[in-house]
Amino acid sequence: MVLPLDPTASAFLFAENRHMPMHVGALQIFQRPDGAGDDFVRRLYEGARDVSELNPLFLRRPRRSKRLGGQWVWEPDDQYDPEHHVRHSALPQPGRIRELLELCGRLHGTRLARERPLWEAHVIEGLDDGRVALYTKVHHSLMDGVSAVRLIGGVLSEDPDERGMEAAWAASSLERIKARRAADRDASGGGSGGDGDGYGRGLLDLPVSVVRSALGISAEAAGMPAALLRTLTKGVLDQTSAISLHAPRTMFNTEITGARRFAAEDWPVERLKAVAHASGTTLNDVVLAMCSGAVRTYLSDLGDLPDSSLVAMVPVGLKAKQSHLASADGGNAVGAVMVRMATDLDDAGDRLATIHASMQDGKDALASMTPAQIVAMSALGQTPAILTPMLKLQGVVRPPYNLIISNVPGPRNTLYWNGARLDGSYPLSIPINGMALNITCTSYDGNLAFGLTGCRRTVPHLQRLLAHLDDEVVALEKAVGVPGAA
């Protein structure tokens, strides 16, 4: 059975090249359960590899159909090879988080083989503290980052004693998530889609359908969207006029290579919320302020900090009635706000205040936009990897923004996989030409996890950003006077 790809999914295949692998990833770190034997990892690996039945999404591969005029179609892979997709790896000595991030960066820089289903998972042992990691990558044509995070997290359980759980790519996991979603919906009496939560809802079954409906296009989008791009360009310029027109060039805004580097760490949500509370801002503002201060120090150390402020593109959720774009199954649409990062200001508190105001301006602008503009912003928020390079081609000579910062809500409770506690979950995203650094955050179990994915060549010393992020939390606490902070 052959199924044509929808235009957005096709666009990810067309846009991909060796410099821009178009897959998203997740790194999860698990504790061994009490009493786990020596063969724990091997059994975990074998269980992940030998699922009883695959979710069909993970069994299909893309092919260009001559009969359909070169269109991409999905077809089942009748030679599915479990060992190709699920692999057992180990870290070199000394097996620190550093070696783990190094391996993830390398795995994330390798393209998926198109002759096979577009995903891979690596069970990784050898961490010096005995924990076990799982790196999973999925092509963006199959699933967007939000959906991938949800799917991979959604198969886990709050019950540490539950066993017999299959991996995210098993058909049984899909059933499991559907059942839980239905239960959640019943429990909440019909379930609207709140902003903060929304976990496990929406984009699951055919994630890109939301994007397609958000774009309001179908077949004509294959020959891609001159009209849409005009709207989009206009939308970006209109909404952010004074700001994004002045987005300066930085080292991030150049051609990239296919090599990747990955850095990740998490901070307690309560600690960041205390900063937000003391300053009358939001958690998301504090996340942006952390990024601002960290990037500022990083660029300054490398002698590349521009005089004017950097601009970040920040995807935000759009409420259904606001966007006119809610998908049929209750998911929210996503828009994009251009935020002045205030990297031209010396004081951490001033940067936070400026970001808060800029974010508010952006949201107000979004609320007052025409439907056409909302369509454009929504498309940009969902698919920056394919639309951002087009913006540049369309004659916006300066970068419309300098980096992309996403914050995706994740599960709030402690989760387990066959008794192994999930300690942390970190997203890996897609750097693109002109946008060499991507910062994606996701929350889990009281922590906010930052995943920094950069081009290895154009963004050197990426790990330093983690120390800068940590320094910035301290600076913010001090600047806004969090009670009791060191």
Among residues 111, 277, 319, 421, the one that binds its own copies under rule CB under 8 A: 111
Among residues 32, 63, 116, 412, the one that binds its own copies under rule CB under 8 A: 116
Of 92 and 371, nearer to its own copies (C-beta) is 92
Sheet containing 437-444: give its strands across.
260-268, 447-455, 437-444, 403-408, 311-318, 333-340
Asked if 71 is part of the footprint of its own copies (rule: CB under 8 A), the reply reads: no
Shortest distance (Å) from residue 429 CB to its own copies: 19
Among residues 37, 67, 79, 242, the one that binds its own copies under rule CB under 8 A: 79
Which of the 8 DSSP states describes residue 219?
Answer: G
H-assigned helices in 302-429 = 320-323, 348-367, 371-382, 384-393
CA–CA distances in Å: residue 339 to residues 234, 267, 285, 406, 452: 17, 22, 10, 12, 19
Report the C-alpha gap between 143 and 203 in whole angstroms.
9
Among residues 91, 101, 146, 374, the one that binds its own copies under rule CB under 8 A: 91
Tell me how many residues contact its own copies (CB under 8 A): 34
Q: How are beta strands 60-65 and 71-76 bridged, if at all?
A: antiparallel
Binding to its own copies in span 186-225, by CB under 8 A: none
Asked if 360 is part of the footprint of its own copies (rule: CB under 8 A), the reply reads: no
Asked if 87 is part of the footprint of its own copies (rule: CB under 8 A), the reply reads: yes
Shortest distance (Å) from residue 125 CB to its own copies: 5
Helix (H) or strand (E) holding 333: strand 333-340
Q: Which among 37-45, 246-254, 303-311, 433-441 is the span making contact with its own copies, rule CB under 8 A? A: 37-45
Q: Which among 103-111, 138-146, 187-195, 223-231 is the span making contact with its own copies, rule CB under 8 A? A: 103-111
Q: Which residues contact 296 (CB under 8 A, 6 or more apart)?
A: 305, 343, 351
Among residues 18, 163, 234, 461, the one that binds its own copies under rule CB under 8 A: 18
Does the active-site annotation cover 468? Answer: no
Report the C-alpha gap between 400 and 403 in whole angstroms.
9
CA–CA distances in Å: residue 80 to residues 54, 65, 89, 223, 452: 10, 20, 20, 32, 32
Of 113 and 183, nearer to its own copies (C-beta) is 113
Of 118 and 311, nearer to its own copies (C-beta) is 118
**Number of helices followed by number of strands (H, E) in the chain:** 15, 15
Shortest distance (Å) from residue 119 CB to its own copies: 15
Asked if 78 is part of the footprint of its own copies (rule: CB under 8 A), the reply reads: no
Asked if 93 is part of the footprint of its own copies (rule: CB under 8 A), the reply reads: yes
Of 45 and 450, nearer to its own copies (C-beta) is 45
The one-letter amino acid code at 262 reads F
Q: Which among 80-88, 166-174, 201-209, 403-411 is the span making contact with its own copies, rule CB under 8 A? A: 80-88
Report the C-alpha gap between 420 and 403 in whole angstroms.
35
Quote the crossing angle between the two packed helices 348-367 and 464-480, to the nearest 10°. Answer: 90
Asked if 98 is part of the footprint of its own copies (rule: CB under 8 A), the reply reads: no
Q: Out of 23, 108, 139, 140, pick the active-site residue.
A: 140
Pair 394, 236: CB distance under 8 Å:
no
Among residues 7, 25, 62, 109, the one that binds its own copies under rule CB under 8 A: 109
Alpha-carbon dihedral sign for residues 206, 208, 210, 216: negative
Among residues 53, 115, 205, 301, the one that binds its own copies under rule CB under 8 A: 115
Burial of 172 (0-12, 13-18, 19+ CB in 10 A): middle
Shortest distance (Å) from residue 92 CB to its own copies: 5
H-assigned helices in 166-207 = 171-187
Asked if 371 is part of the footprint of its own copies (rule: CB under 8 A), the reply reads: no
Among residues 6, 16, 125, 445, the one that binds its own copies under rule CB under 8 A: 125
Of 92 and 446, nearer to its own copies (C-beta) is 92
Residue at token pair 């120390």:
467
Site string for its own copies, 454-473 (x = CB under 8 A): --xx----------------
Among residues 4, 193, 200, 258, the one that binds its own copies under rule CB under 8 A: 258
Q: How are beta strands 333-340 and 311-318 bridged, if at all?
A: antiparallel
Report the C-alpha gap between 64 and 402 in whole angstroms.
34
Of 25 and 315, nearer to its own copies (C-beta) is 25
Task: List contacts with its own copies (CB under 8 A).
Answer: 17-19, 38, 41-42, 45, 79, 81, 83-84, 87-94, 102, 106, 109-111, 113, 115-116, 125-126, 257-259, 456-457
- So which residues are the catalytic ones? 140
